[in-house]
Structure 1
């Protein structure tokens, strides 16, 4: 028979649950906030003590109300935070099982997809999914089997708030680690985010890919094109992440494809230039030409070439196989984009100083006057070069003998 103390605790619990059952939305909102503030950080045993060994009775009510009301946005953040008190409780694994048994996982994932819900709702749902993923491999697999990777990636792509995007990034990284059955699915999901128009999403996807790449240990060829297209961005933080990922991928089977692709982007096609927006041809806005994506990409490609050849003589030789000198000189003659000229000049300087054969052919192609002008200060050549000299650079046919040329 229960002691008087136990009976009192049970009566208190029943009164608490009745207040919830009969309470209005405003009353339940107050109960939720009080519960969160009072119990955040408690362990499973402490929660059971608080609820006279009946904490699951309150948790069941929380999950039931959430399933009934999340689509209309009623106290969603508070409900998710209250459920989070249970899921994050040490020695409270039973609560996780109970939430999953009533379809909590699918509810959290659905919240990520609903356009009408606020960003803070989605942030809290992502935090709960992180708790579930941290519970072990089988729970990560359960999330992935429930189309979790797609939902989280879409949430990351469509979100307008950095906090939500960062929470989604954390979850994707968690799902890729210690989850061999689905790690490739996460990897492909991140690649699919690269063409996104949001620079923040691109940056987070690239950062996560750098981490996930060491886990997956293979490279899917579909990463090459969207990664190289990242070079068109005007956001230097995204460009930096892209270059760092390229460095990592050079150790895998896409090395040749990446090097060839980088060189190709040193010389924009006529179609790319002809398809420029008409506003860029407006005489009243001549500087707009500098923002043309293909020229931004040209400058970034030259920067990548310069970075890679300074770090590795082996890579420098491989670039020569793709006639990189010829393409760098074309970029140097691009009077429409000064940064392309500057970056290409710096990259070519390193090749000239490293390989005597390159120095000989570049001198011959430029002519003594232009070559001497170039070597005085390669970085600032574009400020001292005239139209005739630019044409000389653009019309060069330099090919360095002694290197096995790879067909283009």
Structure 2
């Protein structure tokens, strides 16, 4: 059957369009791409096919070919990726997704994320394409993960200097964790590794996503304890907040005993606890370094605050903490005049334990003396401002030990 006049004209226009593309240089192709992006946003798959007289796959193949040939040089990189996204995001566009994967599109996107010389906009567009694929179903999530996508996306989030790029990477990681049982643990471990990033924004996003993914994997990995507590050295309040929320969530998991034990131990940090160890890939020499002791004191205050929060949430947690000699360590911190926030948080925690358990009240009163005890109970918030040298020495050298708390409370 011979094509109609309209069909012949459409084919002629399409061939002329392809000839212009094939013969055109960078400027011509960028112009074609910009026009395509402007007039085809939000179109469905059938509409794109109609636009190209059922030859949409032919133009799409040209786009993916040019992407593979030029992505290392960044030639019209943003425009190519945006044009490809129109095809992949179109409703009824499953054929384009299959074609993209078959020509190695996923690997190309992941390589773009790791190229230092490419701009952040291109990396952000690559991440958006990965999101489109991840939303297309479990098969595509598995393909991304099998291509070492979790590592590539996590490293992009860890070292990117653009918050927008970091946020797009966070979305990809969260998508890869949902409905992807084969690789959800891999995503979980990748997020744990991100806690050692030199960038507070990366830590913040990793913590937010970890709280979501923790609910998916349910069982906590023991490796989460040290990196999570290391994050408590951060000076950024939003990072501290998310870390404390995750610590609360983990009280319902198997890592609870180890987490409580380390929280108590870090009230009196050793020399090696003064530093957060991190993979070299996550290190950034441009980030200002804090004085050696300050991170440990910030962490000390955060641990005292976390202990106070946990104690108020559960009497059972209180009992476990007392068994770990938390009162002894908190009294020591109360005498740490080098960091007033540590003193304040420790005083508030001790005040709560004293109000909850008569046996703790008795032991603390006996250990620190009646005058200092009354000062604590009158205003724990500002106790650190009123301590004299003798009282500080009493707090630092205390040997309080409160065994048998369960028997007493029962």
TM value normalised by structure 1? 0.94
3-state SS of paired residue (1:107): helix
3-state SS of paired residue (2:398): coil
Q: Which runs of 4+ in 1 moved over 4 A?
A: 270-274, 288-291
Residues 32-111 of structure 1 aligned to structure 2 (within 5 Å): 32-111=33-112
The equivalent of 2:305 in structure 1 is: 303
In 2: Cα distance, 1:272 partner to 1:162 partner: 29
Residues 188-203 of structure 1 aligned to structure 2 (within 5 Å): 188-203=189-204
3-state SS of paired residue (1:72): coil
The equivalent of 2:280 in structure 1 is: none
The equivalent of 1:120 in structure 2 is: 121
Confirm or deny: 8 A CA contact 2:330 2:347 kept in the other structure: yes
In 1: Cα distance, 2:316 partner to 2:406 partner: 13
Q: For the structure 1 residues 361 and 70, does the alpha-carbon distance in structure 2 shift closer, same or farther, using more than 3 Å as the test?
A: same
3-state SS of paired residue (2:136): coil
Confirm or deny: 8 A CA contact 1:290 1:296 kept in the other structure: no
| Unpaired segments ≥5 residues, structure 1 | 275-287
State the number of aligned residues: 392
In 2: Cα distance, 1:88 partner to 1:10 partner: 25
User: Following TM superposition, by how much is the alpha carbon of 1:232 offset from its aligned partner in structure 2, in angstroms?
Assistant: 1.1
In 2: Cα distance, 1:142 partner to 1:342 partner: 51
Q: For the structure 1 residues 271 and 126, does the alpha-carbon distance in structure 2 shift closer, same or farther, using more than 3 Å as the test?
A: closer
In 1: Cα distance, 2:18 partner to 2:320 partner: 72
The equivalent of 1:345 in structure 2 is: 347
The equivalent of 2:314 in structure 1 is: 312
In 1: Cα distance, 2:82 partner to 2:240 partner: 37
Confirm or deny: 8 A CA contact 2:191 2:210 kept in the other structure: yes
Residues 363-378 of structure 1 aligned to structure 2 (within 5 Å): 363-378=365-380
In 2: Cα distance, 1:359 partner to 1:322 partner: 17
TM value normalised by structure 2? 0.93
The equivalent of 2:169 in structure 1 is: 168
Confirm or deny: 8 A CA contact 1:349 1:378 kept in the other structure: yes
3-state SS of paired residue (2:400): coil
The equivalent of 1:269 in structure 2 is: 270
In 2: Cα distance, 1:15 partner to 1:125 partner: 30
The equivalent of 2:21 in structure 1 is: 20
Confirm or deny: 8 A CA contact 1:289 1:337 kept in the other structure: no
Residues 168-187 of structure 1 aligned to structure 2 (within 5 Å): 168-187=169-188
Confirm or deny: 8 A CA contact 1:289 1:336 kept in the other structure: no
In 2: Cα distance, 1:378 partner to 1:344 partner: 9
User: Following TM superposition, by how much is the alpha carbon of 1:291 offset from its aligned partner in structure 2, in angstroms?
Assistant: 6.8
* CA RMSD across the alignment: 1.6
Q: Deviations over 1:353-377 (max 9, x none)?
A: 0100111111111111111122111
Confirm or deny: 8 A CA contact 1:266 1:301 kept in the other structure: yes
